[in-house]
Amino acid sequence: MSESASPFEELHARIKAKDRRALARLVSRLENGELVDEVRSLCPPHDSMRTLVVGMTGSPGAGKSSLTAGLIGHLRQQKKTVAILATDPASPFTGGALLGERVRMDYDPADVGVFMRSFSSRGATGGLSESTADVLRAVEAFGFDVVLMETVGSGQDQLAIRDLVDVLVLVLTPAGGDDIQWEKAGQMEAADLIALNKADLPGTDFAIAGLRAIFELSPQVAPAIVKTIATKGQGLAELWREIELVGGRGSHHPRFGPARRLLSAAQRELRRLFEKEESSNPVVADLIERFARGSQDEHPLARDLLKELSRVEPVDPSTTHHGNG
Ligand SMILES: Nc1nc2c(ncn2[C@@H]2O[C@H](COP(=O)(O)OP(=O)(O)OP(=O)(O)O)[C@@H](O)[C@H]2O)c(=O)[nH]1
Ligand SMILES: [Mg+2]
């Protein structure tokens, strides 16, 4: 470790020099649980503010990969560099092609502006592995303009991925409304933007009306809904425009994405603190007890909880792993 350049420093230098093989190597190491602390300490957070991180989530077969493929083309036309992280174990991203019955990817494997990586999930939640956040950080440090993350999401998973991205796009289809029950499992709650894909299929306008009705009843600010036909490349430009607006990278809009990510980080800190104090702090135990008895409204209790937690020592996040439950 006292050598002039550690293996990580060497890798990091190569990454700074835009060596994609070095990045691929680093990602593999991170997936093996190696170099985690180094990445956390050496990849400066300001890098992440340059990169627009977009999550693509939705039910199997909704068209996440097709939309992602389309966006890659759209972004490369604008000379933006793109990294694609597919956290779905059944991901069709392999060697620059979409496999199986799915569309072929239209990008040049020799294009240095594109980095693609699919990795299997280890977390019990399915789509997100424990190393995802660190892999993302390494990719951001590489300096891509855009990261697209595809994941099939259960509600839990979508909320987890939302913490990592500037913009979470929920990909729905007209057919989804009947059987999948959009409202359930937090799908809607997590969405910053909805791509209603397969808009060539019947029932599209009906589905959009249904979505609008759901959001009318919800206190949540309704996300924009963009109609797309991924297989024909339709709606991609508009989808990207909306992504930039929500992500705060458009020129006239506040940087909503960074604000949300900071808030998300604060929420993670809070959760860690709460989990640490839950069983050992008598004040916290008393608050839980009072709430359980139903003797007091939850909001004043929650404010007291915040006060109490703000008094105790923060937990060092680098020693805490999460996402495996
Ligand atoms: N008709 C129609 N078919 C589409 C459209 N977009 C995607 N498809 C088809 O839907 C199927 C699934 O597309 P994918 O892009 O692989 O969907 P996915 O959400 O990535 O699927 P998983 O990764 O398996 O969850 C493929 O056969 C696509 O050709 C669309 O806009 N219209
Ligand atoms: Mg896919």
Domain ranges of the chain: 47-252, 260-319
Which ligand lies nearest to the CA atom of residue 126 in the structure? 1
| Distance between Cα 116 and ligand 1 center (Å) | 19
What pTM was computed for the model? 0.75
CA–CA dist 163, 192 (Å, integer): 12
What number does CATH give the domain 47-252?
3.40.50.300
| Distance between Cα 66 and ligand 1 center (Å) | 6
pLDDT number for residue 260: 64
Q: Is 68 in the pocket of ligand 1 (CB under 6 A)?
A: no
CA–CA dist 6, 151 (Å, integer): 34
pLDDT > 90 in the chain, percent? 30
pLDDT number for residue 267: 77
CA–CA dist 296, 287 (Å, integer): 9
CA–CA dist 227, 63 (Å, integer): 12
Instruction: Read off the pLDDT of residues 95-146 as tens digits, 9 standing for 90 and up.
Output: 333 443 444 455 677 788 999 887 665 444 444 566 788 888 888 888 899 9
| Distance between Cα 173 and ligand 2 center (Å) | 14
Q: Is 57 in the pocket of ligand 1 (CB under 6 A)?
A: no
Q: Ligand 1, atom 8: nearest CA belongs to which residue?
A: 63
Long-range contact pairs involving 209-216 (C-beta distance under 8 Å, separation at least 24): 210/177, 211/172, 211/182, 214/182, 214/183, 214/188, 215/188
Neighbours of ion ligand 2 (CB under 5 A): 64-65
Q: Is 66 in the pocket of ligand 1 (CB under 6 A)?
A: yes
- Residue 47: CB atoms within 10 A of its CB come to 16
- Residue 314: CB atoms within 10 A of its CB come to 12
Instruction: Read off the pLDDT of residues 268-305 as tens digits, 9 standing for 90 and up.
Output: 778 888 988 998 999 999 999 999 898 788 889 999 99
pLDDT number for residue 75: 95
Q: Is 122 in the pocket of ligand 1 (CB under 6 A)?
A: no
